[in-house]
Amino acid sequence: MSAPAPLDAPTTALVRVAAAIALGDDAALRDRMKAARGAGVPALWMEELLLQSLLNVGYPLTLVAFAVWR
């Protein structure tokens, strides 16, 4: 059995943003969102991640993440 293929840059950036949202670390969230833009993450993907985060981490952390994104 071979090792799984590594994630592409946009997907890796989204995973890092999701982790920062869950941790509630505003500084890391800002840095990771900036890196996600640099990695070419489409805005639609980021907005979907933010909407899904509402279900996983709750309203307060998601609200902060939306504020950082906008």
Give the model confidence (pLDDT) of 35-52 as tens digits.
Answer: 999 999 999 999 999 999
Reading the chain (70 residues) residue by residue, the pLDDT tens digits are 688 889 999 999 999 999 999 999 999 999 999 999 999 999 999 999 999 999 999 999 999 999 999 8
Q: What gap in Å lies between CA 44 and CA 47, rounded to an integer?
A: 5
- Is residue 23 one of the residues assigned to a domain? yes
Q: What gap in Å lies between CA 13 and CA 32, rounded to an integer?
A: 7
- What is the residue range of 37's domain? 9-69
- Is residue 4 one of the residues assigned to a domain? no
Q: What's the domain count of the chain? A: 1
